[in-house]
């Protein structure tokens, strides 16, 4: 008999870091020692009985297999439990990876433009680090990232220490003036408009809160990006992750299996219910 797809594997939370005031990072290893085999922008279901499970993007790149990394924002029961009950050394359950993941083939040899907002950097980070680790496969890389305040920026060691050393252009912004902040001030879509990247040969990948995504998509189209050049990820409520429990549907598509990564061209062909 094949393995039950909704049965978790045993795992250990090895390390926890406070990322932003409401987000923590969890470094997880599997107890069975087998690889997890994920692709950038795929997700995993983390289990913390008796509270339940919830789905999170795997924010670590498959090229850095030491840990599976997650950035978890506290919103409800499972996330609260992860924040306050789970400690370094706590055993949890994990299943996945879920989702179609990022279509790497589409971006080889291209210029890449990443646009992230808030915790939306979590899924992008997996792909960004993947690209840095296979840097020669891509041409120019630009990252635009913003959060409400400097404190709310995720993965500070990446954006302030590691990525500036990489061959990439990094543009940071926060929503409101803050003491000591010398970069751009304004919403991510505003910054995008200000930076006005040219669309030729570029693939744009964006993730963030729904409202940001909406304006970023509009902004990119205004800059001349074609729907095929724009890739985003969606978030819907998910339970099974395997296309059966029904709730993550957009029309006939189940986002847990057919998504969460879609090009704008694909989204335009789907019903507007997300």
Cα→Cα distances 185→12, 131, 175, 181, 188, Å: 39, 27, 6, 8, 9
**C-beta of 164 vs 269, nearer to other proteins:** 269
For other proteins, the binding residue among 27, 215, 243, 266 (CB under 8 A) is 243
Which residue is listed with tokens 């061959």?
167
Give the residues across from 91 on adjacent strands: 12
For ligand FES, the binding residue among 221, 245, 270, 274 (CB under 6 A) is 245
Region binding other proteins by CB under 8 A among candidate stretches 6-14, 103-111, 146-154, 180-188: 6-14
Does position 103 interact with other proteins (CB under 8 A)? The reply is: no
Does position 90 interact with other proteins (CB under 8 A)? The reply is: yes
Cβ neighbors of 50 (< 8 A, separation 6 or more) are none
Does position 122 interact with ligand FAD (CB under 6 A)? The reply is: yes
Other beta carbons within 10 Å of 30: 14
**C-beta of 52 vs 186, nearer to ligand FAD:** 52
Half-sphere exposure of 152 (CA within 13 A, CB side): 16
**Backbone torsion region of residue 268, taken as left when φ is above 0, otherwise alpha when ψ lies between -120 and 50, otherwise beta:** alpha
Which residue is listed with tokens 């992230």?
116
Site for ligand FES in 183-242 (CB under 6 A): 238-241
Structure tokens at 103: 């279509």
For other proteins, the binding residue among 19, 53, 111, 152 (CB under 8 A) is 53
CB 63, CB 75: distance < 8 Å? no
**C-beta of 117 vs 123, nearer to ligand FES:** 123
Minimal distance, residue 274 CB to ligand FES, in Å: 13
**C-beta of 79 vs 173, nearer to ligand FAD:** 79
- The residue count for binding ligand FAD (CB under 6 A) is 20
Does position 259 interact with ligand FES (CB under 6 A)? The reply is: no
For ligand FES, the binding residue among 243, 266, 270, 274 (CB under 6 A) is 243
Minimal distance, residue 14 CB to ligand FES, in Å: 27
Is 9 in a helix, a strand, or coil? strand
Cα→Cα distances 60→108, 111, 131, 217, 265, Å: 20, 22, 12, 25, 27
For ligand FAD, the binding residue among 76, 89, 164, 210 (CB under 6 A) is 76
CB 259, CB 273: distance < 8 Å? no
Binding mask of the shown chain, residues 23 to 62, with x at each position contacting ligand FAD by CB under 6 A: --------------------x----------xxxx-----
The residues that touch ligand FAD, with contacts defined as CB under 6 A, are 43, 54-57, 71-73, 75-79, 119, 122, 235-238, 260
């Amino acid at each position: 008999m094949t393995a039950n797809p909704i049965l978790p594997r045993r795992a250990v939370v090895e390390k926890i870091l406070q990322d932003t005031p409401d987000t923590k990072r969890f470094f997880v290893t599997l107890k069975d020692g087998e690889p997890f085999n994920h692709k950038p922008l795929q997700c995993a279901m983390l289990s913390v009985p008796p509270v339940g499970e919830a789905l999170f993007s795997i924010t670590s790149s498959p090229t850095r297999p030491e840990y599976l990394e997650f950035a978890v924002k506290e919103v409800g029961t499972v996330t609260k439990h992860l924040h306050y009950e789970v400690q370094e050394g706590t055993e949890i359950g994990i299943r996945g990876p879920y989702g179609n993941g990022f279509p790497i083939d589409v971006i080889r040899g291209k210029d890449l433009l990443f646009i992230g907002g808030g915790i939306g950097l979590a899924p992008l980070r997996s792909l960004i680090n993947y690209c840095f680790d296979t840097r020669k496969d891509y041409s120019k890389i630009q990252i635009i990232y913003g959060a409400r305040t400097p404190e709310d920026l995720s993965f500070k060691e990446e954006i302030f220490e590691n990525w500036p050393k990489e061959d990439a252009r990094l543009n940071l912004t926060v929503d409101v003036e803050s003491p000591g902040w010398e970069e751009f001030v304004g919403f991510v879509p505003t910054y995008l408009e200000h930076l006005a990247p040219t669309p030729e040969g570029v693939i744009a990948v964006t993730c963030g809160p729904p409202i940001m995504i909406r304006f970023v998509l509009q902004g990119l189209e205004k800059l001349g990006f074609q729907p095929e050049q724009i890739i985003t990820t969606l978030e819907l409520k998910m339970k099974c992750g395997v296309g059966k429990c029904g709730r993550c549907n957009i029309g006939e598509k189940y986002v847990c299996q057919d998504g969460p990564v879609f090009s704008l061209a694909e989204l335009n062909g789907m019903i507007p219910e997300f």
